């Protein structure tokens, strides 16, 4: 099959993904990339080219109309809608950090991301249960993001925000964990793992230096674990369709509890679309779900496309869905797979070795897939890549997942029989403490980084070549020819 036919077949199988990509290019306004993208469609079909050209232009116009004239920094009044609030500590200031959107600033019609740092204690700070009319000085952080230094807060009647309920609920959970887990660091880590909020700078630094920030930030990793845990519990008490509705309700509650951000929004949309497909008895590929999430997020907030969290979230998911399987097949001769019936007659020691090598092979393929995709983006934004990230990402996500599952078990049991939950809290705290010791004390000889300031124009050609290769090899055998036949592999493995 020619490359053109492969591209056309892949596009026909994943229309939502391709529409989402066209919407992304139109929103970002990177016209030379959009032109190359449309040329690919032109090579196979005029009709598809016109469809995607219209999508690019439509979203470019949509973004321009919404955000063409940002407000001028300076003194003025506007309406501040609060999305989240959390305690903030830094060497220079402490207080409460409000995140939200500022609209109608000095008659400006737009709505832009804005933060307000309120220097005060928990009792004196403005309650985050409504919108506020604020007056003060607006500062520009970049083209479409601002910070605001208010002089006055005036409550707007008949407005509402979940941010206050959210911060109070997270504080109750934090106190619950600190009461039941003796080590404060472990309690803080588990709080961050469940709620996505952390103000421990040392903990953030320890995970950041090893490229493990994704473990602390709420993403599809957390939603998938929550859904799997809830499904396992609900399977015992509910039939299929009511179980899907219950899972959707739990995902919605968790989304409202965490608050909105690009990775969280993508994760919730993916879960909602997947469960909706189950209720309608329709199945869809992961790439189509990802494309639909991309399309919805850009419609809801075009500015999200320029955020680092948005870019890493969608790029990592694309790498997992496109690159993981070819890389797994490429490792199949080094770490051969066998069925359950074939593994059952093996000795206990051989079964243990097989489980360990299978886990290592899966973790290695996943780590390579994600890092191949996000490496240029990391070097472009942060100009460094920690080498130990490749090693630590093989096992720390699994340990963090086990910590989270133990914590979920403890919270569930605590709601029914508080005394019986204590062993689960202790186990989660112990495992979290061990994980923090591993992350906090990396081997000094290997603690090095690749430093390179990569220009942005390289990203599109690199990712285009990478994912084109993934599409080309998705159904082909990439296994290394280390042995002459499968029979040789089976003989070597059994021996």
Query: pLDDT tens string for the chain (495 positions)?
Result: 566 777 788 888 889 999 999 999 999 888 999 999 999 888 878 888 899 999 999 999 998 888 878 888 899 999 999 998 888 777 666 788 899 999 888 877 778 889 999 887 777 888 999 999 999 999 988 778 899 999 988 999 888 899 999 989 998 999 999 999 989 999 999 998 898 777 777 888 888 888 888 888 777 778 888 888 888 888 888 898 899 999 999 999 998 888 877 788 888 888 888 888 888 877 778 889 899 999 999 998 888 888 888 888 889 889 988 988 888 888 777 777 766 566 667 677 776 777 777 778 888 888 889 989 999 998 998 888 888 888 888 888 889 999 999 999 999 999 988 889 999 999 999 999 999 999 988 887 777 888 888 888 899 899 999 988 888 877 554 443 333 333 333 322 333
Angular region, 59: left φ>0, alpha ψ -120 to 50, beta rest: alpha
CATH class of the domain whose range is 74-161: mainly beta
| DSSP assignment string, 207-249 | HHHTT-HHHHS--HHHHHHHHHHHHHHHTTTS-HHHHHHHHHH
Q: What angle do CA 473, 290, 396 make, to 5 degrees?
A: 80
β-bridge mates for residue 75, sequence order: 137
Give Cα 311 to chain centroid, integer Å: 9
β-bridge mates for residue 111, sequence order: 103
- Pairing mode, strands 111-118 and 145-155: parallel
- Whether the model clears a pTM of 0.85, i.e. scores above it, the answer is no
Give Cα 317 to chain centroid, integer Å: 8
What are the φ and ψ backbone dihedral angles of 217, each rounded to 5 degrees? Answer: -85, 135
Other residues' Cβ atoms within 10 Å of the Cβ of residue 61: 11
């Amino acid at each position: 099959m020619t490359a053109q036919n492969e591209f056309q077949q892949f596009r026909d199988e994943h229309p939502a993904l391709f529409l989402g990509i066209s919407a992304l290019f139109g929103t970002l306004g990177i016209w030379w990339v959009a032109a190359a993208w449309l040329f690919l469609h032109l090579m196979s079909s005029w009709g598809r080219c016109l469809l995607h050209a219209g999508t690019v232009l439509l979203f470019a116009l949509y973004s321009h109309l919404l955000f063409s004239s940002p407000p001028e920094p300076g003194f003025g009044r506007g309406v501040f809608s609060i999305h989240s609030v959390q305690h903030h500590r830094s060497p220079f200031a402490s207080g409460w950090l409000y995140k939200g959107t500022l609209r109608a600033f000095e008659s400006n019609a737009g709505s832009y991301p804005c933060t307000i740092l309120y220097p005060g204690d928990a009792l004196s700070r403005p309650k985050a249960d409504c919108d506020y009319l604020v007056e003060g000085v607006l500062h520009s952080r970049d083209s479409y993001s601002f910070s605001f230094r208010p002089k006055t807060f005036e409550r707007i009647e008949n407005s509402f925000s979940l941010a206050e309920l959210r911060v109070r609920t997270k504080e109750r959970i934090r106190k619950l964990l600190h009461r039941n887990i003796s080590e404060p660091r472990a309690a803080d880590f588990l709080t961050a793992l469940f709620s996505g909020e952390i103000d421990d700078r040392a903990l953030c630094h320890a995970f950041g230096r090893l490229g493990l920030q994704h473990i602390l930030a709420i993403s599809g990793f957390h939603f998938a674990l929550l859904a799997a845990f809830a499904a396992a519990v609900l399977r015992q008490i509910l039939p299929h369709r009511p179980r899907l509705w219950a899972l959707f309700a739990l995902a919605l509650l968790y989304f409202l509890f965490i608050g909105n951000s690009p990775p969280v929004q993508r994760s919730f949309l993916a879960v909602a679309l997947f469960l909706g497909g189950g209720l309608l008895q329709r199945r869809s590929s992961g790439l189509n779900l990802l494309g639909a999430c991309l399309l919805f997020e850009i419609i809801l907030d075009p500015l999200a496309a320029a955020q680092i969290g948005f870019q890493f979230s969608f790029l990592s998911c694309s790498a997992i869905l496109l690159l993981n399987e070819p890389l797994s097949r490429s490792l199949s001769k080094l770490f051969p797979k066998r069925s359950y019936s074939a593994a059952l007659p093996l000795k206990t020691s051989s079964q243990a070795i097989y489980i360990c090598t299978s886990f290592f092979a899966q973790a290695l393929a996943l780590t390579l897939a994600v890092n191949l995709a996000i490496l240029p983006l990391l070097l472009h934004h942060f100009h460094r890549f920690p080498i130990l990230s490749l090693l630590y990402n093989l096992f720390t996500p699994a340990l963090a997942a086990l910590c989270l599952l133990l914590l979920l078990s403890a919270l569930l049991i605590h709601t029914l029989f508080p005394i019986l939950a204590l062993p689960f809290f202790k186990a989660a705290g112990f495992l979290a403490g061990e994980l923090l010791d591993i992350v906090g004390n990396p081997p000094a000889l290997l603690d090095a980084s690749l430093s390179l300031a990569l220009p942005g124009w390289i990203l599109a050609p690199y990712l285009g070549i990478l994912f084109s290769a993934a599409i080309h090899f998705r159904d082909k055998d990439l296994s290394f020819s280390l042995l002459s036949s499968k029979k040789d592999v089976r003989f070597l493995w059994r021996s």
